[in-house]
Amino acid sequence: MRICIPIVLVFPFVIRLDCGKEQMVRELREAVGKEVSGPAERGGQDMSGRVIKSDEEWREILTEEQYRITREKGTERAFTGKYHDFKGEGRYRCVCCGNDLFSSEAKFESGTGWASFCAPVSEENISTATDKSLGRTRTEVLCSRCGAHLGHVFEDGPEPTGLRYCINSAAMEFEEKSEE
């Protein structure tokens, strides 16, 4: 009797343990499944072509200055950017995702110390947002594909647009026009 009692008592416990294990495995499988199907877009492009990366992934491909400006909405000091006084002919692409942003044909000398353009290559390639930092309201300019902060747009530019896209050089990579 002394031996029988513990076996009877232990048996249901063993069964319960096994069921628990099965349940745990099932839950784990479900969790792993979610993990695989969920953030699969990270590090690549989603259905709409937007580039989505984690902060760590951006840090890996950007310099500290590029990261500070594009991912943390920083601003480079006036007259320090590599393109404020640059006159090459070609395209300026997003330093984060390569999106076509501005043409050298739209670049003009604003005297502000930042690269200035009167229009983007296409309205679709940029997006804007209201920026109320520093106690004033400005219009922030972002890359529409990856959300990189590029700079701001002001309404004191030259004709025909009257706009001045004031862009951080560190947010762009210049690509020289190829000879055809």
Q: Just list the catalytic residues.
A: 166
Which residues contact residue 65 at a Cβ distance below 8 angstroms, ignoring those fewer than 6 apart? Answer: 74, 76, 170
CB of 45 to Zn ion, least distance (A): 11
Strands (E) located in 34-125: 44-45, 51-52, 90-94, 100-103, 107-108, 115-117
Strands (E) located in 16-157: 44-45, 51-52, 90-94, 100-103, 107-108, 115-117, 126-131, 138-143, 149-154
CB of 97 to Zn ion, least distance (A): 3
Q: Which amino acid is at 78?
A: A
Question: 88-127 mask for Zn ion (x: CB under 5 A)?
Answer: ------x-xx-x----------------------------
- If the CB atoms of residues 28 and 129 are measured against Zn ion, the closer one turns out to be 129
CB of 175 to Zn ion, least distance (A): 14
- If the CB atoms of residues 71 and 84 are measured against Zn ion, the closer one turns out to be 71
Residues that bind Zn ion (CB under 5 A): 94, 96-97, 99, 143, 145-146, 148
